[in-house]
Homo-oligomer: A and B are copies of this chain.
Amino acid sequence: MTQVLTDTACALVPGHVTGCFGVCRADDPVATGSIGAGVAIGDPIEVTVRPPTTPDGGIQADKRREHPYGQTQFNGEHLTIAPVDRLRRILGVSMDIEVTSPFPLGAGFGVSGAVTLGTALATTVVTDRTATQAEITKQAHIAEVEAATGLGDVVAQATGGMVLRLEPGADGTIDTIPAQGRVEYLVLGDLSTPAVLHDDTEALTAAGQQALERITTTPTPETFVQAANAFAEDAGLYTDAVVEVIDAVEAAGGQAIMSMLGETVVAFGTGLSDAGYEPAMTTIDHAGARLGSDCF
């Protein structure tokens, strides 16, 4: 039976930039996922869950019939985020979702995972479905895997920091690399996650495993950057536009990587600014997904 949300709650979830990854599929979506390394960044994405607009809510009536589990507004625009719809169905909770995100969709920031995780987390405190962070992460991971929009963002976003996914799936072992500081990014275009993940991923996964092994041998931010760049090269994921920007950052003495999977360059410190670009700025987020409003 569908529960209709009657109260409002908010969650904050970082974006997640993947530097390298390997695809690990299993029959169970919980065990399906990716190994790899990435970095959680914020200002966080704000996800607010609200009671759904009523079927006779004036201009929303058509949309209400279209979205029986509620609507999603992303930075003011109504749109569909597949794993979020799936999560609402899995939970059996009807609610509207309002997202304020500094990061665009489809540019390699794991926004679909963040919104799904934020929805699962915020829903927990306004329904009688109590759950721990691990259970919430699992719900969101399953929805994202089944929607084929991501494989590893959710678990990394639940953790925060510079995250190593040593094993795939919702229950896989996670660790982090000590890292701190300013992050700059420049969105050049977009790549479709489902398209890349449905290609033959054997060579990509071998490159991802090699990159992860390199990072775990010497777990520092510098190794992360080097391994991510070697991975992008080996896996054939670089675009000309990305290579041009990364080369310019390196020529200016900085460090940058391509975000998987988006046509986005992410630099650490002032790498993109120093190279003369006008990037957006943020920082590493260490908190991971958390509630945005008092729960006492």
Contacts and interface: CB of A to CB of B under 8 A. Distances in A.
Q: Is the interface of A mostly helix, strand, loop or mixed?
A: loop
B133 A180 contact: no
A295 B178 contact: yes
A135 to B, nearest CB: 8
Given A287-B287, A294-B269, A219 B182 contact: no
Contacts of A220: 130
A180 B294 contact: yes
Interface residues of A, number: 38
A180 B290 contact: yes
A134 interface: yes
Contact of A176 (B132, B269, B286): B132
Interface string A180-207: 1110000000000000000000000000
A121 B178 contact: yes
Contacts of A293: 180
A166 to B, nearest CB: 9
Contact of A178 (B125, B161, B177): B125
A259 interface: no
A265 interface: no
Interface in A269-291: 269, 286-288, 290-291
Contact of A181 (B136, B180, B181, B295): B295
A160 interface: yes
Contact of A216 (B121, B132, B164): B132
A11 to B, nearest CB: 8
Contacts of A133: 161, 175-178
22 contacts: A132-B175, A132-B177, A133-B175, A133-B176, A136-B178, A160-B286, A160-B287, A161-B290, A178-B290, A178-B291, A180-B290, A180-B291, A180-B292, A180-B294, A180-B295, A181-B294, A181-B295, A182-B296, A255-B296, A269-B294, A269-B296, A286-B290
Interface of A: 121, 124-125, 130-134, 136, 160-161, 164, 175-182, 216, 218-221, 255, 268-269, 286-288, 290-296
Sort A-B residue pairs by CB-CB distance and give the 4 closest, nearest first.
A181-B294, A286-B287, A180-B291, A269-B296
